[in-house]
Structure 1
């Protein structure tokens, strides 16, 4: 299994849309296939974002164009979300002994900068 001792969520669904998982060390054929598929999905999502921006910038579109765009963006977002969940699940947990102490230091940092006024233009 992976270094986090969890199965990998694959970038495709199984029967009836159920998630597929892979147990292994991440070096086999299916792992490489999943890596390649994730790369393709992320590339297509990037291209779709650019296309959506072009459609919206025109400020002239049909209901059909908007519907198709919404369908494609939803599919791409679902793929990107699945990739993010999969990769997040494979990250090593931080080696902090006291996560509460870390949260407190973040709060102090946020308060320090929140008290400073922001100068615009």
Structure 2
């Protein structure tokens, strides 16, 4: 299956939080460009939030409510970044000669590879 035959996971949710998908043969179309721009914004916001989180966690006097709100923001941003990663991963070309069973588990490495 070629990349254009698969649905693209969009970087936003539909009604009731359900995922949105795009089916198109035109990767440079208006909706594709909007999705690309949205992904860039989401990743940038994630980088900024990471900096804020590191600063907040370094502050030994951070209030519990501040940490709670930070955790909520981190969870939302992680959801967005994971959606971008899944979407981009699905659009990667699989090189010829590489076996792929369609599973979501990724490559298998022997336990010795991890020390």
**TM-score normalised to structure 1 length:** 0.78
Task: Summarize the alignment of residues 41-120 of structure 1 with structure 2, pairs less than 5 Å apart.
Answer: 41-96=42-97, 110=113
1:16 is aligned to 2:16: yes
**Could you tell me how far apart the structure 2 residues matched to 1:98 and 1:42 are?**
31
**TM-score normalised to structure 2 length:** 0.81
**Higher Cα Rg, which structure:** 1
**Could you tell me how far apart the structure 2 residues matched to 1:18 and 1:82 are?**
12
Number of aligned pairs? 107
**Structure 1 partner of 2:34:** 33
Higher helix content, 1 or 2? 1
Q: In angstroms, what is the RMSD of aligned CA positions?
A: 2.6
Could you list the runs of 4 or more consecutive aligned residues of structure 1 that deviate by over 4 angstroms after TM superposition?
none
